[in-house]
A = this chain, B = another copy of it.
Amino acid sequence: MSLSHVLLGLLSTTPASGWDLKRRLGEDPARGWDADLSQIYPALRRLLRGGFVSLKRRRSPQGPPRREYRVTPSGRRELKEWLAEPYALPRPHDATLARLALLERGLPPDRVRRLQEYRGLLADELKRAAPGTTAARRRRRVLLETELAWADAESAALLAGRSLGPAAKERA
């Protein structure tokens, strides 16, 4: 049920359409959530059915009529309760990391290559990252920097042959 709550949270600052919400989520990964439009539309409908948001149709300068949602008092209550729930660390769910971890059984040259590929992704993401004007953005930034440093350290260790992989014997 998180997506609905995240949407309520976004709507609680500004009324918005599904399209707007998707843009806001996609723009700032530091928010901790993103979703497809095809998830967002049904979620907004559920919120509407539940009385947590209200709908106003508006002609838009371009494209079909916008459906602008805004939070109702009931929605604000619901959001407040969700925000007050106890925290928990998320279940790990990262296919790239999973592959990177499995890779450790491979040969060092391949491992370095893939590590560098990953490093590239991190560097791009860091370049794209919004300035640290919120705690969440500062968090994202330092995490990316840390991961970048980690990737470099692991690569260096592999290249130095300090961390010998399965190929060690063959080379010996």
Contact = CB atoms under 8 A, between A and B. Distances in A.
Given A2-B95, A142-B146, A143-B143, 8 more contacts: A6-B95, A30-B92, A31-B98, A32-B94, A32-B101, A83-B102, A88-B96, A89-B125
Given A101-B134, A135-B104, A150-B139, A87 B121 contact: yes
A5 B33 CA distance: 24
A107 interface: no
A100 B2 CA distance: 13
A154 B142 CA distance: 12
Contacts of A101: 30-32, 134-136
Given A33-B93, A135-B104, A147-B139, A99 B85 contact: yes
A22 interface: no
Nearest to A31: B101
A103 to B, nearest CB: 6
A94 B33 contact: yes
Contacts of A168: none
16 contacts: A13-B105, A32-B100, A33-B93, A33-B94, A34-B92, A85-B99, A87-B118, A89-B121, A90-B93, A90-B94, A97-B139, A101-B136, A104-B134, A139-B147, A139-B150, A143-B143
